[in-house]
Chains A and B, each alone.
Chain A
Amino acid sequence: MLHIINKSPLTNGALDSCLRVAQSGDILLIEDAVVAATTGNVCAAKLQEAMGRCKVYVLQPDLDARGFGDRLLEGVSSVDYGGFVELTASNKNCQSWL
């Protein structure tokens, strides 16, 4: 399934909750959540650990907006809005961790 996170991992527990529950599938970081997948962020380690069981994506326009277009964590794939739609279509179901 597809897990969508839109809150910063440093001020909200959504990413932690998702990583605690998700055993496989895709995780897409959008809006303020994109900072979780940037180099030097304290959350990078737990995201890298999750990459062993889930595939992690980030919405590139949200990364660019926040000035982190050139600081994407290795192993994370970036998608545009079309890619976002494809992820929702190719997964059986999805959960937005609001």
Chain B
Amino acid sequence: MSEVKKFMFVNRKAPYGTIYALESLEVVLITAAFDQDVSLVFLDDGVYQLKKGQQTKGIETKNFSPAYRALDGYDIEKLYVEKESMEARGLSEEDLLVDVTVLSRAEMGELMDQQDVVLSF
């Protein structure tokens, strides 16, 4: 078994308007199959991916937000949200559909520094 690497997925886009959020989720699930140390971070408009209550019937698009709740079933438990990004959007932890760790922008930077591989979406 080769050495476990630290993978970080950086999510900065809102869902539905572009394909980035869904594509990130797909790659995260693939990575989970390789038993690596995976962290997901949500900053800027990426925090919108975790907003509770998404109802996509009206835009005839698949609502993929329930998949974030299934991530712990794939041993992906490290979810981080940047505090400043959340506040700029009038959101709090109660508005999010999963439990996350809230980080300041400085803490986010430190966490990013510690990674072996950073993938940006």
Contacts of B17 in A (CB 8 A): 6-8, 31-32
Contacts of A65 in B (CB 8 A): 15-16, 54-56, 58-59, 61, 63
B15 contacts A66, CB within 8 Å? yes
Contacts of A6 in B (CB 8 A): 17
Q: A7-B17, A32-B16 are in contact. Are A41 and B44 (CB under 8 A)?
A: no
Task: Report how far A43 CA is from B17 CA in the complex, Å.
Answer: 18
Contacts of B48 in A (CB 8 A): 35, 66-67
Task: Report how far A57 CA is from B15 CA in the complex, Å.
Answer: 21
Q: How many inter-chain residue pairs (CB < 8 Å) link A and B?
A: 79
A: interface residue count bin: 20 to 34
A43 to chain B, nearest CB (A): 9
B55 contacts A10, CB within 8 Å? no
Contacts of A10 in B (CB 8 A): 44-45, 88-89
- CB-nearest residue of chain B relative to A30? B17
Interface 1/0s, chain B 38-78, versus A by CB < 8 A? 00000011001001111111110101010000000000000
Q: A8-B17, A10-B45, A35-B48 are in contact. Are A69 and B88 (CB under 8 A)?
A: no
- CB-nearest residue of chain B relative to A70? B53
Task: Report how far A66 CA is from B90 CA in the complex, Å.
Answer: 14
